[in-house]
Amino acid sequence: MLRNSYPEHDINQVFDYIDRILAGGDAAETAGRELKLINSLFAALPVMGVEYGMQFLHGRRDLPENAQEILPLYIRFVNLVEYCELVEAMRQVPKAPTREQITDRMKMNSRLDELETAFAKPLLGFALGDNNDTSLESVSTQPDEQESAPIANNLVAEQSNTEGDNEGSGNNLHLMIASASIFPCKDPIKTALFYETRCGFTSTHLMDEAMPQIRLKRDNIEIVLVEAQDGSCLPNREKYGIPYDLVIYSNEPKMLEIELSGQNVNIVKPLPSADEFQNVNREFVFEDNDGRHICISQIDTQA
């Protein structure tokens, strides 16, 4: 049973947590290879496959049939998270442990040993190469794994084809984990307050960098606010003739539109109904306090 809380959708934050715990020591040598194996397989999944893994982490077990087919990956993922939680808990050694604390630590030790038995073993018909090679290799499977193995094979093959078209990309989710748009502002603090109070972002003020900035974050979206040196912050439509200053993709644009409307955010282009524009992504546009137009577009989960 998991003890910590995790983000609803951002699997990179979960992998960051695992990596941080394993880097601190006190874990089995095979735990690092287990992380690389699970990470590599998740990197080969389509967006919804990763999303189902996060839903499984949060306790959902009634996943669609296509997600059930790669259930062993989700189970190993959750087990590795639990393992890291136990390692973290075991580092807290009481000075004068009670009988109950001693019993709990014995149970945690036993559970750690149990979880370690599966580390770095083949998963969905794949295993990592040797210690100097983190690429996936096809391996023979047990009878109960044979149905799932072709699915992983297709996913990894699809990823390999994609990598051939994108030189320099890899199968690790952490090679490029995030990006941030930069918004020049007349008053970054005023703009930060708009995004915090109206749009659900949180802000971090960073004054110790070469470019003093305010970093806004919500879910997987980051925006960096900086003060415009010339005092201007014309939106793209006025400066370049480009309609939007930022495009954000969403699984549920309607829910987001309702939320922003409820916060009195100016919706300059409403979301069309679901039966309109079948060949075009559904989207709506809102305006921030500096006049920028932000497009919220329905993500194409079939891509």
Give the CATH number of the domain where residue 242 resides. Answer: 3.30.720.110
Is residue 173, in this structure, part of any structural domain at all? no
> Which of 109, 143, 165 corresponds to the end of one domain?
165
Is residue 92, in this structure, part of any structural domain at all? yes
> Which of 106, 139, 165 corresponds to the end of one domain?
165
Q: How many CB atoms lie within 10 A of CB 242?
A: 11
Is residue 171, in this structure, part of any structural domain at all? no
Domain count, the chain: 3
pLDDT recorded at residue 179: 85
Is residue 1, in this structure, part of any structural domain at all? no
Judge if 202 and 288 occupy the same domain: no
Is residue 291, in this structure, part of any structural domain at all? yes
**296: three-class secondary structure by DSSP:** strand
Describe the crossing of helices 29-43 and 47-57 by its angle, rounded to 10 degrees. 130
Domain extent at residue 243: 234-303
**216: three-class secondary structure by DSSP:** strand
Burial of 45 (0-12, 13-18, 19+ CB in 10 A): buried
Q: How many CB atoms lie within 10 A of CB 231?
A: 8
Token pair for residue 133?
A: 């090679």
Give the helix/strand (H/E) hosting 5: none
pLDDT recorded at residue 240: 94
pLDDT recorded at residue 252: 82
Is residue 6, in this structure, part of any structural domain at all? no
Judge if 275 and 161 occupy the same domain: no
pLDDT, tens digit, 9 for 90 and up, residues 259-280: 999 999 999 999 987 655 555 6
pLDDT along the chain (303 residues), means of 10: 84 90 88 91 86 91 86 94 92 85 89 91 83 65 46 44 44 61 93 95 76 86 91 90 94 89 95 64 92 89 44
Judge if 211 and 262 occupy the same domain: no
43 Rama class: left (phi>0) / alpha (psi -120 to 50) / beta? alpha
Instruction: Say which CATH number the domain at 225 has.
Output: 3.10.180.10
Q: How far is CA 222 from the centre of its chain?
A: 13
Judge if 191 and 301 occupy the same domain: no
Q: How far apart are CA 173 and CA 243, in angstroms?
A: 32
Judge if 277 and 220 occupy the same domain: no
Sign of CA dihedral 62, 67, 70, 75: negative
> Which of 111, 140, 165 corresponds to the end of one domain?
165
